Amino acid sequence: MKVHLAIYDKKNAGIASSALHLQADKVILLHRKQHDVEGIKSVLNARGVKCQSQMVSFDPKQIRNILKHILKDNADNDLVFNASSGYRMMVLVTLEYFTSKSMKAFVVDKFTNELHWLHPSEKESVNIESKLKISEYIKLFSSQVLTHGQTIQEPTNRQTLTHWLIENIEHFGSSLAAMNHIAMRADVSLQFHMDRKYSKKPHLREILLKFEEVGILRIKHQNVVFKDEESRFYANGGWLENHVFSLLFEMKKTREAISDLAKGMEISRAKGTVKNEIDVVTMANNRLHLIECKTRKFTNHNHANTPGAAAIYRLDTLKDSLGGNSGKAMLVSYQKLSRYTEQRAKDLGIYCCSHQQLKQLKEHLYKFIDSK
């Protein structure tokens, strides 16, 4: 049997991906008492890899004693140590134990998805080919997918509409914000009455007519009537989510690293106590990529208590809790971002693409996915 020994870390996904790539028969998982390992066990078992877990403490003597028993029990198996994760002291003690006995050990780089052999060191590094699905990756970090959201591309007429909105972004800023307001404030019958101030928006009528052409809404005198709740959501910024999703859908056809993609996925974390909806989420190189899409107009205030800053902090929290050490996040905004928001995003490692940059959004998405 091919058996991997690994030390659990709630921030690292290298245990599952490498076990699948190297076609392990079993994974022996050492973990602390406070760790919830049911998620990773479920993922591995579903993929045909048996997972055996054992609680350990920080005591080096106890670790060495446990290792002695594991080696004895697996004397007839091909036992390999995965040093990708775990508390440093536990990893070092285990690695020293394995190398002293000339046994194999490797590590998975959390940024590049490459598997590097530590012993024997002459073995060549390889890129992990096995690809985790979003739902599997999320489960590794003790979270669950409640609804998978949209996984198919939007109709061509809607794609044409979103491209038109992007191409005219320098003219449509305030009018698009008014469109958001109309969709957000529509009553229970999905209607909104426009007073005189809306007639002063130079391009609003033009935008409304374009949305009417694709069946999102109807214009009746000074009333805007949305086709259904989904259409109202689409007009209230959902179109930008669809635009990002549509570009990634096309990219996925030629970029093998992109293994899974969804829009509007609902996720529960913290043992089901917290629920979040992710605008767009994709798996690439066995790393979770979260994308938040905003069409609302942000304030220009340079401080933390602004909607732009709030979006950045939310992304940082989700990137850490759902994506672990290798999670990545991106903010896509139709409107301009303040310098404070852009700097805060840079500090937290969150990629931003806003306003005029959206005309090169596909190139920015490639950079986002390819960056370490």
| Chain segment 180-229, per-residue pLDDT in tens | 999 999 999 999 999 888 888 889 999 999 999 999 999 998 999 999 99
Residues 212 and 251 in one domain: no
Instruction: Specify the CATH number for the domain of residue 87.
Output: 3.40.50.10770
Q: Are residues 292 and 316 in the same domain?
A: yes
**Do 263 and 241 meet the contact criterion of CB atoms below 8 Å apart?**
yes
In a domain, 141, yes or no: no
DSSP state of 112: T
Tell me, yes or no, whether 12 and 110 share the same domain: yes
Token digits for 205? 């009528």
- Read off the pLDDT of each residue in 313-331 and give the average, rounded to a whole number: 92
304 occurs within a structural domain: yes
Beta pairing, strands 78-82 & 2-7: parallel
Residue 162: per-residue pLDDT: 93
Q: Is residue 250 part of a domain?
A: yes
Does one domain contain both 105 and 24?
yes
For the cut 70, the answer to whether the pLDDT of residue 344 exceeds it is: yes
Which tens digits make up the pLDDT trace of 231-267? 999 999 999 999 999 999 999 999 888 999 999 999 9
pLDDT given for residue 199 in this prediction = 82
Nearest to 278 by CA among 303, 306, 245: 245
pLDDT band at residue 302, thresholds of 50, 70 and 90? low
Q: What pLDDT is recorded for position 303?
A: 58
| Inside any domain, residue 143 | no
Tokens read off for 48: 């045909």
Helix (H) or strand (E) holding 214: none
The two three-digit tokens of residue 239, written as one number: 């179109």
What's the number of domains the chain is made of? 3
Asked if the structure places residue 175 within a domain, the reply is yes
Structural domain that includes position 61: 2-130
Cβ–Cβ under 8 Å, residues 75 and 51: no
Residues 6+ apart with CB under 8 A from 300: 338
Band of the pLDDT at 283, cuts 50, 70, 90? very high
Q: Is the confidence at residue 346, as pLDDT, over 90?
A: yes
Does position 367 have pLDDT exceeding 80, yes or no? yes
17: pLDDT strictly greater than 70: yes
pLDDT in tens, 54-73: 999 888 889 999 999 999 99
Surface-to-core class of residue 356, CB atoms within 10 Å of its CB (0-12 exposed, 13-18 middle, 19+ buried): exposed
Residue 305 has pLDDT above 90, yes or no: no
The tens digit of pLDDT for each residue in 106-152 reads 999 988 899 999 999 888 999 998 889 999 999 998 889 999 988 88
pLDDT at 273 over 80: no
pLDDT value, residue 197: 87
Question: What local confidence, expressed as pLDDT, does residue 300 receive?
Answer: 60
Helices (H) and strands (E) in the chain, counts: 14, 16
CATH of the domain at 306: 3.40.1350.10
The answer to whether position 142 is within a domain reads no
Q: Which amino acid is at 18?
A: S
